[in-house]
């Protein structure tokens, strides 16, 4: 791409003159991302750098915008650098550490193959574990929080917030993933952290908890899926953590309870709660493939995924995002939101109707399809039955299609979704959402989870994430 910059001739007589101010004669149109030509794997390396800007260290210290003079502790993963004073139209402060977001980010750092320091581990991961241990200790000593507390300040103090029991599970998954990249002293801290989480989760996994979107307390499909994955991983851990007898029972119980979320049409996001109309189909079901123990070839999951796609991509749907129609003409998308009745766009004081697409939701759906393609490649069969038929039909696939046809179609579909994220980015930077009508970015800027979800999807695209080992339900394909 060639860009010509033109400016008016300037006669300089003042010796103090220092040139034109930046942007004085800026072109009306700036270079836009070439979404069709972008190498997604190469872009993911750049997104790793953008993500790392939201992680504190000894050399990168931030000040708490709500508490001037209070500075960050190394290892804090902030959700985003946005708060009301610096982000017009947003009334929420994201300069906090959410346990879930931090763990998802730590997983991406661990799988980025960063260099170790001489004689030690990866500094950012060492910082992450120490910060996580600090937060856990503060929660344990708090009169108001549990070990499932979701949100902490940049100094590791308990922030008044909700208890979310997917947090300790995904944090422990992250630590199991990164453990080999720690130095000896930090490995001891990491083991104690996981052991504490394990004991806590064995006590509470059957209880209600606040859900992924922090809106309802009930029996969350996502939380149960993440807990299931953790219990499975801890049962075969190689870092000498003793496996209590209750882990096997927890795995069995969670598998049974997850199946009970099926209502005949889709998996319900939260059970035993009076959720608002339009809370299902909810993208957190698909996110449970990315972060939890749900197999991508579960045909009831595929039935849910078909509804998710239709509700935002079908022009006849009341939840349709107009931008998906415009994007389809470019070979992009569709983009996905959280759920059809969403009302949040970064400004709680001014709720919207129907919500907007989210970068992370779109990336999660793309990752799910990549994982499904990987599973089909491994099994040599399409998991086609009465539940999954509508999902595959949307991709032009049916009983006469081959496994290779399905894999190709799924990968192409997911590529179009990731390229939609790139197309709607602000010169590649990712906010939390983008407008469902105009396509421009909305809500908080540079959301850490947006970058982490894109990175995770690209790894699945290359086959870097194998599908779960559990046998999918309601499938005629061979188990992978």
Q: What is the pLDDT of residue 85?
A: 94
| 306 CB-contact burial (10 Å; exposed 0-12 / middle 13-18 / buried 19+) | buried
Residue 126 has pLDDT above 90, yes or no: yes
Length of the chain: 480
Q: Are 222 and 166 in contact (CB under 8 A)?
A: yes
Residue % of the chain over a pLDDT of 70: 90
For residue 426, list its beta bridge partners: 429
- Among the listed residues 120, 138, 232, the one whose alpha carbon sits nearest the alpha carbon of residue 176: 232
Q: Is 133 left (phi over 0), alpha (psi -120 to 50) or beta?
A: alpha
Question: Does residue 252 form part of some domain?
Answer: yes
| 378 CB-contact burial (10 Å; exposed 0-12 / middle 13-18 / buried 19+) | middle
Q: pLDDT for 293-327, tens place per residue?
A: 999 999 999 999 999 999 999 999 999 999 999 99
Residue 231 has pLDDT above 70, yes or no: yes
The angle at the Cα of 71, spanning 65 to 75, to the nearest 5 degrees, equals 110
The C-alpha atoms of residue 464 and residue 449 are separated, in whole angstroms, by: 19
Residue % of the chain over a pLDDT of 90: 87
What does 163-205 look like in DSSP terms, one character per residue? B-TTHHHHHHHHHHHHGGGS-HHHHHHHHHHHHHHHHHHHHHT
Q: pLDDT for 397-448, tens place per residue?
A: 999 999 999 999 999 999 999 999 999 999 999 999 999 999 999 999 999 9
Residue 230 has pLDDT above 80, yes or no: yes
- Among the listed residues 425, 430, 436, 423, the one whose alpha carbon sits nearest the alpha carbon of residue 450: 430
The C-alpha atoms of residue 435 and residue 413 are separated, in whole angstroms, by: 21
Residue 243 has pLDDT above 50, yes or no: yes
Q: pLDDT for 83-116, tens place per residue?
A: 999 999 999 999 999 999 999 999 999 999 899 9
Q: pLDDT for 439-480, tens place per residue?
A: 999 999 999 999 999 999 999 999 865 433 344 444 333 333
Alpha-carbon distance values, 245 to 128, 172, 249 (Å): 30, 18, 8
Say which range, 75-89, 132-146, 169-183, 461-475, has the weakest mean pLDDT.
461-475
Q: Are 418 and 356 in contact (CB under 8 A)?
A: no
Positive or negative: CA dihedral 88, 446, 149, 346? positive
Say which range, 71-85, 108-122, 131-145, 258-272, has the weakest mean pLDDT.
108-122
Number of domains into which the chain is organized: 1
Q: What is the pLDDT of residue 27?
A: 54
Instruction: Show the tokens assigned to 101.
Output: 């977001």
Residue 44 has pLDDT above 60, yes or no: yes
Instruction: Show the tokens assigned to 191.
Output: 């083991």
In degrees and rounded to multiples of 5, residue 223 shows phi and psi of -60, -45
Task: Domain of residue 180: give its range.
Answer: 62-260
Question: Does residue 317 form part of some domain?
Answer: no
- Among the listed residues 174, 161, 92, the one whose alpha carbon sits nearest the alpha carbon of residue 131: 174
The C-alpha atoms of residue 258 and residue 284 are separated, in whole angstroms, by: 13
Alpha-carbon distance values, 384 to 96, 469, 473 (Å): 44, 19, 12
User: What is the arithmetic mean of pLDDT over 224-233?
Assistant: 99
| 67 CB-contact burial (10 Å; exposed 0-12 / middle 13-18 / buried 19+) | exposed
The C-alpha atoms of residue 21 and residue 5 are separated, in whole angstroms, by: 14
Residue 209 has pLDDT above 90, yes or no: yes
User: What is the arithmetic mean of pLDDT over 330-338?
Assistant: 98
Strand 217-220 and strand 97-98: pairing? unpaired
Q: pLDDT for 54-88, tens place per residue?
A: 999 999 999 999 999 999 999 999 999 999 999 99
For residue 97, list its beta bridge partners: 152
Q: What is the pLDDT of residue 9?
A: 42
Q: What is the pLDDT of residue 84?
A: 95
Instruction: Give the contacts of 29 (CB within 8 A, at least 6 positions apart).
Output: none
Rounded mean pLDDT of the chain? Answer: 92
Q: What is the pLDDT of residue 25?
A: 53
Q: What is the pLDDT of residue 83?
A: 96
Question: Does residue 359 form part of some domain?
Answer: no
Q: Are 78 and 62 in contact (CB under 8 A)?
A: yes
Residue 276 has pLDDT above 80, yes or no: yes
Question: Does residue 213 form part of some domain?
Answer: yes
Whichever domain contains 216, its CATH number is: 1.50.10.10
Q: How many other C-beta atoms lie within 10 A of the C-beta of residue 277?
A: 7
Strand 209-210 and strand 270-271: pairing? unpaired
Where do we find the tokens 């990731």?
418
User: What is the arithmetic mean of pLDDT over 6-24?
Assistant: 45
Question: Does residue 102 form part of some domain?
Answer: yes
Residue 364 has pLDDT above 60, yes or no: yes
Question: Does residue 19 form part of some domain?
Answer: no
- pTM, entire model: 0.91
Positive or negative: CA dihedral 274, 312, 437, 416? positive
* Residue 433 CA to its chain's centroid (Å): 13
What confidence tier does 118 reach under pLDDT thresholds 50, 70, 90? confident
The C-alpha atoms of residue 9 and residue 305 are separated, in whole angstroms, by: 58
Q: Are 357 and 436 in contact (CB under 8 A)?
A: yes
Q: pLDDT for 29-43, tens place per residue?
A: 566 667 778 899 999
The C-alpha atoms of residue 271 and residue 258 are separated, in whole angstroms, by: 10
Question: Does residue 303 form part of some domain?
Answer: no
The C-alpha atoms of residue 56 and residue 311 are separated, in whole angstroms, by: 39
Question: Does residue 189 form part of some domain?
Answer: yes
Instruction: Give the contacts of 21 (CB within 8 A, at least 6 positions apart).
Output: none
Q: What is the pLDDT of residue 34?
A: 74
The C-alpha atoms of residue 154 and residue 174 are separated, in whole angstroms, by: 20
Instruction: Give the contacts of 2 (CB within 8 A, at least 6 positions apart).
Output: none
Instruction: Show the tokens assigned to 256.
Output: 């049974």
């Amino acid at each position: 791409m060639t860009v010509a910059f033109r400016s008016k001739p300037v006669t300089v007589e003042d010796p103090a003159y220092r040139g034109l101010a930046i942007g004085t004669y800026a072109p009306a149109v700036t270079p836009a991302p070439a979404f069709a030509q972008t190498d997604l794997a190469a872009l993911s390396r750049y997104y790793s750098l953008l993500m790392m800007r939201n992680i504190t260290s000894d050399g990168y210290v931030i000040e708490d915008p709500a508490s001037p003079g209070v500075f960050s502790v190394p290892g804090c993963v902030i959700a985003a650098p946005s708060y009301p004073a610096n982000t017009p139209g947003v009334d929420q402060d994201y300069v906090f550490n959410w346990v879930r977001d931090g763990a998802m980010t730590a997983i991406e750092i661990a799988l980025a193959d960063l260099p170790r320091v001489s004689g030690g581990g990866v500094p950012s991961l060492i910082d992450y574990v120490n910060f996580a241990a600090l937060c856990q200790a503060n929660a344990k000593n708090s009169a108001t929080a549990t070990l499932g507390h979701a949100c902490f300040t940049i100094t590791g103090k308990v922030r008044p917030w909700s208890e979310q029991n997917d947090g300790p599970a995904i944090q422990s998954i992250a630590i199991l993933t990164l453990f080999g990249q720690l130095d000896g002293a930090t490995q001891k801290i990491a083991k104690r952290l996981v052991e504490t989480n394990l004991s806590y989760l064995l006590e509470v996994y059957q209880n209600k908890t606040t859900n992924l979107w922090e809106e309802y307390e009930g029996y969350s499909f996502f939380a149960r899926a993440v807990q299931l994955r953790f219990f499975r991983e801890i049962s075969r851990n190689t870092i000498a953590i003793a496996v209590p007898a209750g882990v096997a029972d927890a795995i069995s119980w969670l598998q049974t309870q997850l199946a009970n979320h099926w209502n005949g049409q889709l998996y319900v996001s939260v059970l035993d709660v009076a959720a608002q109309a339009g809370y299902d189909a909810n993208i957190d079901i698909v996110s449970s493939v990315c972060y939890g123990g749900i197999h991508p070839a579960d045909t009831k999951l595929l039935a849910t995924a078909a509804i998710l796609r239709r509700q935002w991509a079908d022009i006849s749907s009341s939840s349709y995002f107009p931008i998906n129609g415009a994007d389809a003409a470019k070979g992009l998308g569709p983009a996905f939101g959280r759920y059809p009745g969403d009302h949040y766009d970064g400004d709680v004081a001014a709720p919207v109707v129907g919500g907007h697409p989210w970068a992370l939701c779109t990336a999660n759906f793309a990752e799910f399809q990549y994982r499904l393609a990987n599973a089909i490649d491994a099994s040599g069969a399409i998991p086609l039955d009465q539940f999954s038929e509508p999902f595959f039909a949307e991709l032009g696939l049916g009983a006469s299609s081959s496994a290779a046809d399905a894999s190709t179609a799924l990968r192409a579909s997911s590529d179009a979704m990731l390229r939609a994220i790139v197309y709607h980015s602000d010169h590649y930077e990712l906010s939390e959402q983008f407008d469902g009508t105009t396509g421009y970015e909305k809500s908080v800027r540079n959301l850490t989870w947006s970058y982490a979800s894109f990175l995770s999807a690209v790894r699945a695209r290359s086959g870097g994430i194998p599908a779960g080992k559990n046998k999918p339900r309601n499938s005629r394909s061979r188990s992978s």
